[in-house]
Amino acid sequence: MTTVLLGACSVATVPAAESSRPATPLGTDVERRFDYVERGAPLTSWTCALTHDDERYSIFKVDGLVTLKGDNAPVPIEVEYWRTKSAPRAPAVVITPILGGGNDIARLVAREFAESGMHGVIVWRGVKVLQPQWAEEEVEYAIRRGIVARRRVIDWLETRPEVDPRRISAFGISMGGICTAVLAPVEPRIHSAVIALAGGDLATVVMHSDERRVVEYRKARLALEKIGPAELEKRLRDALVDDPLNVARYADASRFLMFIARHDTTVPTANQLELRDKLGRPRAFDLPTSHYSTMAYTPFVRAQSTAWLLERMKEPNPRVPEPAR
């Protein structure tokens, strides 16, 4: 482990494990849970409209639909696409925003990627998550819908001549990191992934997080169902089949970079460390922060993520075949 200083605080660099277990091939049951009706269908209904033009990048608003298999109706997908102008064909990074704090962080990250030669692809949340009336099973289905939305966005990216389909990666912080921790193991087209302030064992996270929306959801479910905390935790654990810990075995640790907050009570640090272990102990940065004080380290996270992704994506994704010419 090495240490660097930022101001008066230290960031520890935790190297990847020297040897890690191989990724487990996806089972048909996992593939079925993350399948969608439109898979393989043309994207004729999708729209892409320019909203801003800069000398280094252009920003587009992209709208589409996706239907999780088993659902009765499609859900909308809204994307903010930061198209880099640095190369005629460039890598792309699918960005999933945080739960709270507005959209500024996602846009800062997208801008950094675009200015560095990668397309930044922000996939906005379609609905407010953890609504008080949601049963525990609805939380699981929200995870699946979020994953298939991003898979459908990758379908769209593959149609873009300016996107290299063998160099599509993912980035997420907090709830966005949790989503990315599920997406990357189950979607072979994801080249590499950056996960920040994200943990596994979501039942424990929900029961112990001090995030306002999570606290409100927890209180509402306890009151509505007239149950105790232990029963709610059990129901959540039974329902959340696709917890990041459960899909981590499909991951290759070399494909991941993590940022872990040393004093986090929003996504508890112990849950972040457990996720790292389950992923095969990828390279990580240990930040001397709580969840929200990590904001001060945003430039560091952006810079390290950008450098790592650019280095990783020098080589194409071996799981994606070379496009026909």
Q: Is the pLDDT of residue 67 over 90?
A: yes
pLDDT tens per residue across span 96-134? 998 755 689 999 999 999 999 999 999 998 777 888 889
- Class of 19-310 per CATH? alpha beta
Q: What whole-number distance in Å separates Cα of residue 285 and Cα of residue 197?
A: 10
Q: What whole-number distance in Å separates Cα of residue 106 and Cα of residue 73?
A: 28
Q: What whole-number distance in Å separates Cα of residue 217 and Cα of residue 219?
A: 6
pLDDT tens per residue across span 32-42? 999 999 999 99
pLDDT tens per residue across span 137-164? 999 999 999 999 999 999 999 999 999 9
Q: Is the pLDDT of residue 7 over 60?
A: no
Model-wide pTM > 0.85: yes
Which range is least confidently modeled, 5-19, 89-103, 170-184, 232-246?
A: 5-19
Angle at 274 (CA atoms; ends 272, 279), nearest 5 degrees: 95
From the list 107, 131, 134, the residue with the least C-alpha distance to 121 is 107
Distances (CA, A) of 240 to 102, 175, 247: 26, 15, 11
- For residue 234, the SS3 value is helix
Q: For helices 136-158 and 175-186, give the axis angle rounded to 10 degrees.
A: 60
The pLDDT-based confidence of 6 (bands split at 50, 70, 90) is: very low
Q: Is the pLDDT of residue 4 over 80?
A: no
Q: Is the pLDDT of residue 8 over 50?
A: no
Tokens of 269: 């640090």
Higher-confidence position of 290 and 4? 290
pLDDT at 99: 74
Distances (CA, A) of 77 to 46, 57, 67, 149, 262: 9, 22, 10, 6, 34
7-29: b or e for each residue (b if 16 or more CB lie within 10 Å)? eeeebeebebbeeeeebeebeee
